[in-house]
Amino acid sequence: MNSAKVIGTVVATRKDERLNGVRLMVIQPIDSKGNAQGPPVVAGDAVGSGIGETVIYAKSKEGAFGLPNPEACCDAGITAIIDSMYTI
């Protein structure tokens, strides 16, 4: 699992039926200090996150496991909202 900052939303007039009811969010992967790491990613949102929140997400097939339909074609999925993070 990885951490990211939610930076936007995706509006899709048509999408795979297995993604019905799933919000698509644009997330910016970050390191443990909150610095951007790599390009932004579109992720399915299973937890109701919002812009500006820090989240945990899974990539690859595991990204869809937290969605209502784990068979959805989704390469990344938000699985948790981080309230606070402590690093050493």
Q: What are phi and psi of 61, to 5 degrees?
A: -60, -30
What CATH number has the domain spanning 2-82? 2.40.50.220
Kindly report the pTM of this predicted structure.
0.88
**pLDDT, mean of residues 44-67:** 89
Lowest-confidence pick of 2-6, 70-74, 78-82:
70-74
Confidence of residue 19 (pLDDT cuts 50, 70, 90): confident
Mean pLDDT of the chain: 90
3 DSSP β-pair partners: 30, 56
Task: Judge residue 22's burial from the number of C-beta atoms within 10 Å of its C-beta, 0-12 exposed, 13-18 middle, 19 or more buried.
Answer: buried
**pLDDT, mean of residues 9-16:** 89
pLDDT of residue 66: 78
Alpha-carbon separation of residue 1 from 11, 21, 26, 57, 80 (angstroms): 25, 23, 17, 6, 10
Domain locations in the chain as residue ranges: 2-82
